[in-house]
Amino acid sequence: MKDFDIPFYYKSSFIQKIKELRKERDHYKKDFSPTVLDFGPLQIFLARHFGFCYGVENAIEIAYKTIQDNPDKKIFLLSEMIHNQGVNNDLQKNGIEFIFDTLGNQNISWDKISSDDIVIIPAFGTTLETEKILSDRNIDTLKYNTTCPFVEKVWKKSALLGKDDFTVIIHGKVKHEETKATFSHAKENSPSVIIRDIKETKLLSKIIMGEIESSEFYNIFEKKYSKGFDVKKDLVKVGVVNQTTMLATETQEIANCLRKVMVKKYGENEIDKHFADTRDTLCYATNDNQQATLELLKREVDLAIVVGGYNSSNTSHIVELLEEKFPTYFISDETKLLSEYEIQHFDTSKKTEKVSKNYLNKNSKVRIVLTSGASCPDTVVESVMMKLLSFFGNTKPIENILSEV
């Protein structure tokens, strides 16, 4: 895999060495068990896979090279480069302005952007409608396009479905930049609809089976279907793709549910004519991170700490998995470890931060799961680790831990 030239302050020599050691021993990624770092009074179970993925490092490299090579030009990003506030803040400090916020609200009018300016397309990709706006203003949409290749893979899969007259069912979050982009590309080639979860899938299934009036489709999936969508015609042949950062198990559950419905309606012998076996379009990094998280669930620990951007989809799914078994704290960086008694963390259900007390039980050896999302720099994970260590006395030196690993 390519080595990317990203700012040194995103890298951690300690974590990088651990990752390199694990890769040497497990080149084909068959071992998803965590790395156990025994500091004495504190034992950290570091996930096998976490941190910047290929798409994120590629996007960051392009962004910083663009800044370096164009000191006299105005540089814009369509929206957040990735869902990590620290990285986005750093880009803004370097003079990059964001045209849209993460919810799609436009911060900068197109009238203020000229053909002399640079517009970077983020890792999530963008819609065909936005690409046309840029093209009409004579702004290059190729040179500074950082769209993740695994997102583009989903677009290609959608195009193939459309070529075979299948409707594209997109498992994703309707307001997420990537899902917006995928929907835009998919609906160019085929009827398309976005579904959020298995609950919506079951409603769609009942519409397919005629158990819910077809007219209700337009209410249930308002603003989630392509123009001219015909329920009676466009739900005869379907295939599932996903926002690459969704839970793999959930996408599979959705696909299985729709397949069963098609079998029930048309019969097993006719299933290939009505359901496309697209398998999983999840990206490799999301899949690796989720597999590593499932391995963490097999351990007996006191708590889990997940580091990353609060609006990061792939990170929030890691949190969902871990909190099924452990007290789990979702934090953006080490500053959220207020002390050994208090932690400020994000409540995914209420979408707000809160402070919890006595999260560390120091009466015995403390065992902590530590991981992060694909948009979190390794340096932030290391800073969290070092802050945790500062709450304990008589911990082993980092050098000793590396030799043990």
Segment 107-116, tens digit of pLDDT = 999 999 999 9
Give every CB contact of residue 199 below 8 A, 6+ residues apart in sequence: none
Tokens of 173: 């979050």
Q: What is the SS3 assignment for 311?
A: coil
Provide the sign of the torsion angle of the four alpha carbons 220, 221, 227, 232, taken in this order.
Answer: negative
Of 281, 263, 290, nearest to 178 by C-alpha is 281
d(CA 130, CA 181): 9
Q: Which of 82, 101, 136 is the last residue of a domain?
A: 136
Domain stop point among 276, 310, 343: 276
Residues 36 and 61 in one domain: no
Q: How confident is the model at residue 194 (pLDDT cuts 50, 70, 90)?
A: very high
Instruction: Write the CA distances from 67 to 62, 192, 252, 305, integer angstroms.
Output: 9, 37, 41, 34
- Count of other CB atoms within 10 angstroms of residue 170: 26
Give the span between the Cα atoms of 236 and 218, in whole angstroms. Answer: 17
Per-residue pLDDT band at 299 (split at 50, 70, 90): very high
- Looking at residues 270-285, what average pLDDT do you find? 87
Predicted confidence band at 43 (pLDDT cuts at 50, 70, 90)? very high
Please answer whether residues 133 and 157 qualify as being in contact, where contact means their C-beta atoms are separated by less than 8 angstroms.
no
Q: What is the CATH number of the domain that holds 58?
A: 3.40.50.11270
Residue 289: pLDDT over 80:
yes
Which residues 6+ apart lie within 8 Å of 201 measured at CB?
Answer: 195, 253, 254, 257, 258
CA neighbor of 50 nearest in space, from 272, 287, 394, 238: 287
Decide if pLDDT at 3 tops 80: no
Let me know if residue 151 belongs to a domain.
no
Element (H, E) at 128: helix 128-136
201 and 268 together in one domain = yes
* Residue 180 is assigned to a structural domain of this protein: yes
12 sits in the region (left: phi over 0; alpha: psi -120 to 50; else beta) called beta
Buried b (16+ CB within 10 A) or exposed e, 152-162: bebbebbebbb
Q: At 267, phi and psi to the nearest 5? A: 95, 150
Per cent of the chain over pLDDT 70 is 100
Per the DSSP assignment, residues forming a β-bridge with 1 are none
Query: Can you tell me the distance from the alpha carbon of 47 to that of 27, in angstroms, rounded to the nearest whole number?
Result: 16
Q: Please, which residues have CB within 8 angstroms of residue 49's CB and are 6 or more apart in sequence?
A: 29, 32, 285, 288, 289, 291, 292
Give the per-residue pLDDT at 241. 96
Of 332, 327, 278, residue with least CA distance to 309 = 332
Q: How high is the pLDDT of residue 213?
A: 96
> Is residue 177 located within the same domain as residue 241?
yes
Select which of 80, 131, 177, 178 is catalytic: 178
Tell whether 295 is covered by a domain: yes
Q: For 77-88, what is each residue's pLDDT tens digit?
A: 999 888 898 999
Residues 171 and 265 both lie in one domain: yes
Q: Which residues pair with 239 in a beta bridge?
A: 168, 276
pTM above 0.85, yes or no: yes
Which value, in Å, is the radius of gyration of the alpha carbons in the chain?
A: 23
For position 171, what pLDDT does the model report? 97
Q: Are residues 393 and 302 in the same domain?
A: yes
Two structure tokens written together for 191? 């009827």
Total count of domains within the chain: 3
Instruction: List the domain range (segments joined by +) for residue 120.
Output: 54-136
The mean pLDDT value for 160-185 works out to: 97
- Please confirm, yes or no, whether 178 is among the known catalytic residues: yes
Residues 60 and 48 in one domain: no
Please state the rounded mean pLDDT for residues 5-11. 92
Instruction: Report the C-alpha gap between 134 and 130 in whole angstroms.
Output: 6
Of 175, 150, 172, which is closest to residue 100 (Cα–Cα)? Answer: 175
Report the CATH number at residue 216: 3.40.1010
Domain annotation covers residue 143: no
Tens of pLDDT, residues 329-380: 999 999 999 999 999 999 999 999 999 999 998 878 999 999 999 999 999 9
**Whether residue 19 is found in the same domain as residue 31:** yes
Which residues have CB under 8 Å from 401's CB, separation 6+?
A: 37, 38, 39
Tell me the average pLDDT across 238-246.
95
Q: Which domain-ending residue is among 276, 298, 317?
A: 276
pLDDT for 394-405, tens place per residue? Answer: 899 888 898 888
46 in a domain, yes or no?
Answer: yes
pLDDT above 70 for 1: no
The bridge status of strand 97-98 relative to strand 75-77 is parallel
According to DSSP, residue 33 is labeled: P
Indicate the pLDDT class of residue 59, thresholds 50, 70 and 90.
Answer: very high
Q: DSSP string of 290-326?
A: HHHHHHHTTS--SEEEEES-TT-HHHHHHHHHHTTTS
CB neighbour list of residue 341: distance below 8 Å, 6 or more residues apart: 357, 358, 359, 360
Helices 54-69 and 149-163 cross at an angle (nearest 10°) of 120
Which secondary structure element, helix H or strand E, spans residue 36, and what is its range? strand 35-38
Please report the pLDDT score of residue 358 as a whole number: 95
